[in-house]
Structure 1
Amino acid sequence: MNAITDLNDLRLFAEVVDHGSYTAAARSLGLQTSKFSRRIRALEEELGVRLLNRTSRSLSLTETGRQFHQHCLALVAEAKAAKDIVDRTHSKPQGTVRIACPVALLESGISTIIARYVQDNPDVQVLLDATNRRVDVVEEGLDFAIRVRLPPLENTDLAVRQLGLSIHILVASPELTARHPALSSPSSIESVKEWPTLSMASSSERFVWNLVDVEGRLTSWTHQPRLATDDLASLRVAAIAGVGVAMLPKELVEADIQAGRLQHLLPDLAGTPGLVHAIFPTRRGMVPAVRHLLDALVAGCEGPNRQR
């Protein structure tokens, strides 16, 4: 026997049996009685068996029809359960959220925001890929990926939501600053240029820091770092050890500054703010678990600790 081509006919059959007549079943579903009757007859012809005994006044199940009806009820129940699952995902945060984020962003506060979100939403599971590689959200089946880039952002077919700003500041260890002249104003940048430096890796091996003052004036500093790497955590460790001056995200080193492990140099100058943003395949059909996590990230990234 060939597979049934329209599972809706099984539901119609179950409705006829449950209501006891074509007329009552058709009325409950808003269908014409004649159309309803034709669909059941077509189902019997497709199956090659009689399911209902018909008289002018009543309907009754054949033995095969009785057994078939039980399976139809199970199918209807499973369909309703499947819809209930979808309805629940549209009503409150639940289910699995798959995301990716650079390690340094996680260490600078993103991981705290995610942990708090998971704590507040016990029906949500977050699968987090902590990676510095450039991920493909579509190919890898991610709900979204978090990135930080200098403006303007590149054109993309993906949806983008800005989460906040990442401010980079100059920092050095107390031991390093003790070995060099004191800094009192932005004009002291010339003396800082004699200090050893640390930097993010550059494919061209040309290292330039662009610093902006509170009035928007730009100062560029070309330097040759003692250590260059694409790992912000390693730069932070080297800065604390006194290897050199580093330009690091403020949120990454805020605790070190408060604890005295690092000092904020030239507080009137900062690097061009990086845009912390999430990229995802589309805004359509976004379930609450994903949307609410993005909202939590926006709220957390725009908090007081993210400001210059």
Structure 2
Amino acid sequence: MLDLNDLQYFVMVVDHGGFAPTARALGIPKSNLSRRIALLEERLGVRLIIRNTRHFTVTELGQTYYAHCRAMLKGAEAAEAAVAMTHTEPGGLLRVTCPTVLLEECVGGIITRFMAMHPRVEVHLEASDRQVDVVAEGVDLALRVRPPPLQDSDLVNRVMSQRPQCLVASPALLNRLGEPKEPEDLSRFPSVHHGSPQRDYSWTLFHQDGAEFTIQHRPQLITKGLPMLRCAAIDSVGIAQMPMSLVHDFIERGHLVVVLPDWAPRTEMIYAVFASRQGMLRSMRMLIDFMVEQFRLLDDPARGMRGSPLV
């Protein structure tokens, strides 16, 4: 029967270049080591090592056997390490960047819940609305939001969430100005805009049958805060483009109404960007998996983004 200990002894004897130095390294009698190798050769029916008082030589078959033994031992070590990893508490420093609004909306809570579960993890988190250079700035994980497709890059991307968008308005605003029937009707409505001030503002809408329509609008309010944008829509300041997950509950309660339900803006994607899967800290892999699961729960229309802890 195969005994990995014998393979280990044989590899060590070859690596140390003899029985005496190997016996000293292992702290066992040289005679015991020699007997184990002799029994191994007897079981295999071949000579692996030629030894006498002056010479120590590994035979050609011994060299071949040695190479296979080393590979088997490496595999055994890898198997041990893989099992050990499941019992090792993740730790280490993770450098993360995230758009400000997304951080305030949900990511901050996701990360703190993860850290509460894994107290050895340290996070340096930067709220940034610029596109961070992950490699040059030494960032482990960058979260980004944009419509598909993802930008071509040498970096690794993993989609966290696909967020359908919609146009919403308060019932009071629609009662006052009438409900729009076609995208062109939006031009007579006040609007609010998420982002920075710019020269022109427009919504590009897609019909269920594939038609596309772009309409210009002039916002009454411009803000980088989605909660603020939602409040403005509820208070009849104007029509807002919002992620459905952020307004689902308010639609259910009758505070907001979906405008032109057959038309919708392009779906946005939240995705994580990192340099490579190779050499990735276990804590980072676990954080990414945790975030994917948390976003899956947040995207559940039955929940919406209610701000309650997700477990």
* TM-score, length of structure 2 as denominator length: 0.63
Partner SS state of residue 264, structure 2: strand
Q: Give the aligned partner of residue 235 of structure 2.
A: 241
Tell whether the 8 Å contact from 2:96 to 2:140 is kept in structure 1 after alignment. yes
Greater relative contact order: 1 or 2 (C-alpha under 8 angstroms, separation 6 or more)?
A: 1
Does 1:208 pair with 2:207? no
Does 1:276 pair with 2:278? no
Q: Give the aligned partner of residue 98 of structure 2.
A: 101
Residues 24-173 of structure 1 correspond to what in structure 2 (within 5 A)? 24-26=23-25, 91-173=88-170
How far the C-alpha of 1:296 sits from its partner, in A, is: 1.6
Q: Which amino acid aligns with 1:281?
A: A
Which has the larger displacement, 291-300 or 128-137? 128-137
- Cα deviation 1:162-205 (Å, max 9, x = unaligned): 1121222111233322312135xxx4433333110112346762
How far the C-alpha of 1:282 sits from its partner, in A, is: 1.3
Tell whether the 8 Å contact from 1:235 to 1:246 is kept in structure 2 after alignment. yes
* TM-score, length of structure 1 as denominator length: 0.63
Does 1:195 pair with 2:189? yes
Q: Which amino acid aligns with 2:206?
A: V
Between the aligned partners of 2:130 and 2:292, the Cα distance in structure 1 is: 23
How far the C-alpha of 1:212 sits from its partner, in A, is: 1.6
Q: Give the aligned partner of residue 53 of structure 1.
A: none
Partner SS state of residue 276, structure 1: strand
Partner SS state of residue 238, structure 1: helix
Q: Kindly tell me: are residues 148 and 26 of structure 1, through their superposed partners in 2, closer, same or farther at Cα, counting changes over 3 Å?
A: same
Tell whether the 8 Å contact from 1:89 to 1:287 is kept in structure 2 after alignment. no
Tell whether the 8 Å contact from 1:176 to 1:242 is kept in structure 2 after alignment. yes
Between the aligned partners of 2:87 and 2:214, the Cα distance in structure 1 is: 50
Between the aligned partners of 1:241 and 1:108, the Cα distance in structure 2 is: 20
Q: Kindly tell me: are residues 287 and 242 of structure 1, through their superposed partners in 2, closer, same or farther at Cα, counting changes over 3 Å?
A: same
Between the aligned partners of 2:196 and 2:101, the Cα distance in structure 1 is: 17
- Cα deviation 1:144-172 (Å, max 9, x = unaligned): 01101122222222221111212221112
Percent identity between the two aligned chains: 37
How far the C-alpha of 1:295 sits from its partner, in A, is: 1.0
- Cα deviation 1:81-126 (Å, max 9, x = unaligned): xxx9xx8699442233221111222344333433332333333333
Partner SS state of residue 215, structure 2: strand
How many pairs does the alignment contain? 229
In the alignment, which of 248, 251, 254 is matched to residue 254 of structure 1? 248
Tell whether the 8 Å contact from 1:199 to 1:228 is kept in structure 2 after alignment. yes
Q: Kindly tell me: are residues 253 and 125 of structure 1, through their superposed partners in 2, closer, same or farther at Cα, counting changes over 3 Å?
A: farther
Between the aligned partners of 1:28 and 1:268, the Cα distance in structure 2 is: 79
How far the C-alpha of 1:224 sits from its partner, in A, is: 1.9
Between the aligned partners of 1:134 and 1:93, the Cα distance in structure 2 is: 28
Partner SS state of residue 219, structure 1: strand
Q: Kindly tell me: are residues 204 and 23 of structure 1, through their superposed partners in 2, closer, same or farther at Cα, counting changes over 3 Å?
A: closer
Q: Kindly tell me: are residues 304 and 131 of structure 1, through their superposed partners in 2, closer, same or farther at Cα, counting changes over 3 Å?
A: closer
Q: Give the aligned partner of residue 33 of structure 1.
A: none
Between the aligned partners of 1:167 and 1:131, the Cα distance in structure 2 is: 23
Does 1:291 pair with 2:285? yes
Tell whether the 8 Å contact from 1:181 to 1:191 is kept in structure 2 after alignment. no
Q: Which amino acid aligns with 1:282?
A: S
Residues 168-179 of structure 1 correspond to what in structure 2 (within 5 A)? 168-179=165-176
Q: Give the aligned partner of residue 12 of structure 1.
A: none
**Unaligned runs of at least 5 residues, structure 1:** 1-20, 30-83
Between the aligned partners of 2:134 and 2:243, the Cα distance in structure 1 is: 25
Partner SS state of residue 127, structure 1: strand
